[in-house]
């Protein structure tokens, strides 16, 4: 994001959609000397005198990215998934620490589907629910952005396109999406990681759009991010296992790095905020021990120009390729 750019529609003629006045704000709520580049809140993202916040810190907070009624529409759809759960014998959990999903075809196949994953603590050994269905899910993924009309509408929204354009994406594509529940009392920790560990491109050019569907606070498990950590390369990769005899379909190529907690800052945000997360910035979230849920919708965008998407990544594109952001 080196230089100031005009609106995407002023320069990209192949893209449909009306020109919008971007209301993206270049703000960072984290107080730390490293993060002191907070600018006047009413400057738009692209006109800001400080367009380097994302480049320097590895993330940027865009408040009021979506309107409350738009957020409610997304949240309604997330809640609908909990009303139609798979039968007990087909229930699978997702846990970023214990990583049971590494053994599961169900997880691999979810790349191009809408699949539900339960919290570990929500199921007994037979797949029976130990909690109310409404709070049983960890997440739904990983092709909501393409297969579900509401998630598709907001993923391919002009505000999303503008944000990618401002970050110098020439031909971005959306490779995955997730509805994350982080339910009260049961929502599990997401361990410290870089998104490029999972969605590696060479060179790395990947952004996560993380949209708060409810206020995310330190109490209910907001994101914690290590500012500047995106400048230290990709620390490990999660890849398809080449050993056909192994039960582990997916493996890490290196042990987990040891990150210092003191490098991380909590990033509490209000409902409707979008956090843009650089693919190499290290982040995590604590379990939710609070009585309030912390729903979020997140999706990942890769650059397809002058980059290659790794065939070793767990998530592989559908036959027609990942959907292009500016062309849908």
Ligand X SMILES: O=C(O)CCC(=O)C(=O)O
User: What's the number of CA atoms in the CB half-sphere (13 Å) around residue 45?
Assistant: 29
Residue 43 C-beta: closest distance to ligand X, Å: 28
> Does residue 225 interact with ligand X by CB under 6 A?
no
Range 296-315, binding ligand X (CB under 6 A): 296, 298
> Does residue 183 interact with ligand X by CB under 6 A?
no
> Does residue 283 interact with ligand X by CB under 6 A?
yes
Helix (H) or strand (E) holding 139, with range, is strand 137-142
Write phi, then psi, for 126 (nearest 5 degrees): -95, 5
> Does residue 214 interact with ligand X by CB under 6 A?
no
Report how many residues bind ligand X under the rule CB under 6 A. 10
> Does residue 190 interact with ligand X by CB under 6 A?
yes
Residue 237 or 283 with smaller CB distance to ligand X: 283
Q: Which two tokens stand for residue 146?
A: 């393409």
Residue 180 C-beta: closest distance to ligand X, Å: 4
CA distance 162 to 47: 13
Instruction: Please pick, from the candidates 229, 285, 293, 304, the single residue that binds ligand X as defined by CB under 6 A.
Output: 285
Residue 7 or 194 with smaller CB distance to ligand X: 194
Residue 9 or 28 with smaller CB distance to ligand X: 28
Residue 78 C-beta: closest distance to ligand X, Å: 13
Size of the chain, expressed as the number of residues it contains: 328
> Does residue 92 interact with ligand X by CB under 6 A?
no
Spell 302-325 as b/e; 16+ CB within 10 A means b.
bbbeebebbeebbbebeeeebbeb
CA distance 207 to 301: 5
CA distance 115 to 55: 34
Residues that bind ligand X (CB under 6 A): 180, 182, 190, 195, 208, 223, 283, 285, 296, 298
């Amino acid at each position: 994001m080196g230089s100031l750019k005009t609106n995407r529609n002023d320069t990209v003629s192949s893209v449909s959609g009306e020109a919008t006045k971007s209301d993206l704000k270049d703000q960072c709520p984290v107080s730390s000397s490293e993060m002191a580049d907070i600018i006047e809140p009413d400057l738009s993202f692209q006109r800001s005198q400080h367009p380097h916040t994302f480049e320097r810190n590895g993330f940027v907070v865009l408040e009021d990215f979506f309107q409350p009624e738009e957020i409610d529409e997304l949240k309604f759809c997330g809640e609908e998934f909990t009303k139609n759960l798979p039968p007990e014998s087909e229930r699978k959990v997702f846990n970023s620490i214990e990583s049971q999903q590494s053994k599961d075809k169900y997880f691999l196949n979810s790349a191009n589907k809408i699949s539900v994953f339960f919290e570990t603590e929500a199921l007994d050994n037979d797949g029976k629910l130990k909690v109310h269905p409404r709070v049983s899910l960890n997440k739904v993924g990983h092709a909501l952005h393409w297969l579900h009309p509401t998630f598709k509408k907001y993923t391919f929204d002009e505000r999303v396109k503008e944000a990618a354009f401002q970050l110098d994406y020439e031909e971005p594509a959306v490779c995955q999406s997730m509805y994350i529940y982080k339910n009260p009392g049961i929502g599990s920790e997401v361990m410290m990681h870089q998104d490029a560990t999972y969605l590696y491109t060479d060179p790395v050019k990947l952004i996560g759009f993380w949209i708060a569907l409810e206020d995310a606070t330190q109490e209910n498990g907001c994101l914690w991010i290590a500012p500047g950590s995106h400048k230290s390369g990709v620390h490990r990769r999660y890849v398809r296992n080449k050993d056909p005899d192994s039960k582990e379909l997916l493996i890490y190529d290196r042990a987990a790095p040891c990150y210092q907690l003191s490098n991380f800052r909590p990033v509490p945000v209000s409902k409707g905020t979008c956090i843009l997360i650089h693919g190499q910035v290290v982040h995590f979230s604590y379990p939710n021990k609070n009585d309030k849920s912390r729903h979020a919708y997140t999706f990942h965008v890769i650059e397809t120009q002058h980059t290659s998407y790794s065939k070793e990544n767990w998530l592989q594109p559908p036959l027609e390729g990942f959907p292009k952001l500016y062309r849908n």
